[in-house]
């Protein structure tokens, strides 16, 4: 079976508008969470979020073309450009026919949906923008990227709640492995910090209301957590067939060697007891990559900072990794403590961060971890500050509403 490697990474996050700035802030343990500025949140119980305050779409898109895409599309385009430029990826016209584009998106252009609905009510149907539909539908994130670069391989969006970006990467890896494509851009994008977005998750009692301490609000694995912090952003990977990447002299950051995807078939929003579906996703990724458990040194946890989600993932890790987890041999961290929860983009971003950890040997911390969940006893949660460790294999977990679970296995390239 053909091997798939990562040759480029692009990120826009609440911690920074570029890959380098995001990675630098996250490894330094700096939170990107603060008061909401994208709209007046004064009447909302949750008034904090992870906004990409320094993101400027005009650095990547002509001003006259901004109206063709909602904010999530702008971020997707930006991260694709970062990743392509970093990879030095410039296929010929013939090669472009075998380059795919896969992006995970959860809720798509919510800010434009709200804006255009208000326009409909206030000014009537004739005042709806002709760009409204193409600017908001989720598949225009990969669609715009495909058109930008002329990539003519498979082009579609995966939508699976918080697993969307991870599914996109996994499906791209499969397409390259099986010979359907030779390369792909894959990742996730989301921008739903709007009155309806925040209000909807608040109505579910899912969001933190630690408004006076926004930087301390996202607390994965901590007993003081009171919900997740909503965030926006995007991430993109350039994935290539290994031999082709080596032939063109590309810098290889890491290899994607395993992909596992499952369903809990259990509950609308709650994970299955003891993370049963998450267990199977991890096991499938390990089996897919033919990975000896002794090779796994790091877990980039999904860990949304919710009591049930964090607990079930810890239980799943104990079931799958056994004593390697319970005796601290496998290190675990959760970057949502700094970025917040990027929803449909979370799996793409966290896979990108896992690639960076495998490449550099730097494991980002879980900040705000002051009183660890009792069920984490004996586990190495990498609290407070980054640590260094040479990694052979790391797993990135992404779980979402509807019981959707994805695990990606990332290996050091040899």
The two three-digit tokens of residue 309, written as one number: 């989600």
Residues that are catalytic: 162, 302, 341
Separation CA 316–CA 110 (nearest Å): 33
Give the list of residues 6+ apart from residue 198 with CB closer than 8 angstroms, or none: 36, 41, 44, 46, 49, 207, 230
Q: Is 8 left (phi over 0), alpha (psi -120 to 50) or beta?
A: beta
Q: What is the pLDDT of residue 414?
A: 79
Sign of CA dihedral 217, 111, 234, 108: positive
Separation CA 235–CA 347 (nearest Å): 9
Q: What is the mean pLDDT of residues 116-139?
A: 97
pLDDT tens-digit readout, 343-377: 999 999 999 999 999 999 999 999 999 999 999 99
Separation CA 296–CA 299 (nearest Å): 8
Separation CA 318–CA 325 (nearest Å): 6
Per the CB < 8 A criterion, the answer to whether 401 and 161 are in contact is: yes
The pLDDT confidence band at residue 392, using thresholds 50, 70 and 90, is very high
DSSP 123: H
Separation CA 145–CA 217 (nearest Å): 34
DSSP 160: B
Q: What is the pLDDT of residue 378?
A: 94
pLDDT tens-digit readout, 212-226: 999 999 999 999 999
Give the list of residues 6+ apart from residue 52 with CB closer than 8 angstroms, or none: 12, 13, 14, 17, 75, 191, 232, 233
Q: What is the pLDDT of residue 162?
A: 97
pLDDT tens-digit readout, 2-43: 999 999 999 999 999 999 999 999 999 999 999 999 999 999
pLDDT tens-digit readout, 159-180: 999 999 999 999 999 999 999 9
pLDDT tens-digit readout, 177-211: 999 999 999 999 999 999 999 999 999 999 999 99
If one counts every other C-beta atom within 10 angstroms of the C-beta of residue 181, the result is 25
SS3 state at 137: coil
Per the CB < 8 A criterion, the answer to whether 253 and 15 are in contact is: no
Per the CB < 8 A criterion, the answer to whether 228 and 304 are in contact is: yes
Q: What is the pLDDT of residue 146?
A: 98
The side-by-side arrangement of strands in the sheet containing 393-400 is 155-158, 99-104, 183-190, 233-241, 4-12, 254-263, 404-411, 393-400, 296-300, 331-333
Instruction: Check whether 1 has a pLDDT greater than 90.
Output: no
The two three-digit tokens of residue 53, written as one number: 């305050």
The pLDDT confidence band at residue 399, using thresholds 50, 70 and 90, is very high
pLDDT tens-digit readout, 76-119: 999 999 999 999 999 999 999 999 999 999 999 999 999 999 99
Give backbone dihedrals phi and psi of 305, rounded to 5 degrees, phi first: 80, 35
What is the average pLDDT value for the chain, to the nearest integer? 97
Give backbone dihedrals phi and psi of 405, rounded to 5 degrees, phi first: -135, 135
Q: What is the pLDDT of residue 84?
A: 98
């Amino acid at each position: 079976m053909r091997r798939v490697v990562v040759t480029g990474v692009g990120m826009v996050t609440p911690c920074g508008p570029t890959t380098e700035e995001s990675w630098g802030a996250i490894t330094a343990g700096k939170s990107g969470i603060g008061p909401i500025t994208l709209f007046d949140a004064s009447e909302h119980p949750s008034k904090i979020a992870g906004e990409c305050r320094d993101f400027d779409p005009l650095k990547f898109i002509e001003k006259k073309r901004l109206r063709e895409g909602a904010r999530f599309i702008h971020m997707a385009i930006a991260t694709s450009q970062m990743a392509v430029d970093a990879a030095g990826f410039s296929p010929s016209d013939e090669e472009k026919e075998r380059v795919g584009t896969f992006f995970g998106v959860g809720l798509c252009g919510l800010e434009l949906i709200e804006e255009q609905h208000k326009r409909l009510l206030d000014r009537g149907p004739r005042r709806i923008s002709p760009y409204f539909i193409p600017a908001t539908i989720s598949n225009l994130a990969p669609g715009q990227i495909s058109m930008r670069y002329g990539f003519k391989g498979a082009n579609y969006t995966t939508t699976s709640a918080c697993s969307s970006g991870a599914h996109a990467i996994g499906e791209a890896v499969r397409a390259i492995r099986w010979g359907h494509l030779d390369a792909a851009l894959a990742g996730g994008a989301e921008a739903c910090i709007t009155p309806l977005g925040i209000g909807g998750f608040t109505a579910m009692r899912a969001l933190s209301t630690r408004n006076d301490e926004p930087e301390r609000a996202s607390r994965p694995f901590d007993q003081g957590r009171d919900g997740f912090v909503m965030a926006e952003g995007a991430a993109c990977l350039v994935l290539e067939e290994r031999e082709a990447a080596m032939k063109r002299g590309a810098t290889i950051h890491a290899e994607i060697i395993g992909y596992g995807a499952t369903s809990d078939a259990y509950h609308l929003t709650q994970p299955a007891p003891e993370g049963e579906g998450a267990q199977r996703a991890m096991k499938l990724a390990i089996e897919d990559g033919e990975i000896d458990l002794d090779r796994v040194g790091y877990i980039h946890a999904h860990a949304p900072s919710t009591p049930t989600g964090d607990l079930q993932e810890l239980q799943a890790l104990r079931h799958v990794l056994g004593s390697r987890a319970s005796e601290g041999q496998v290190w675990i961290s959760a970057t949502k403590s700094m970025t917040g929860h990027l929803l449909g983009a979370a799996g793409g971003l966290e896979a990108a961060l896992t690639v960076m950890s495998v490449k550099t040997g730097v494991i980002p911390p879980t900040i705000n971890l002051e009183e660890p969940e009792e069920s984490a006893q004996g586990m190495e949660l990498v609290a407070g500050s980054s640590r260094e460790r040479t990694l052979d294999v790391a797993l990135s977990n992404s779980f979402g509403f509807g019981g959707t679970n994805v695990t990606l296995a990332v290996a050091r390239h040899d």
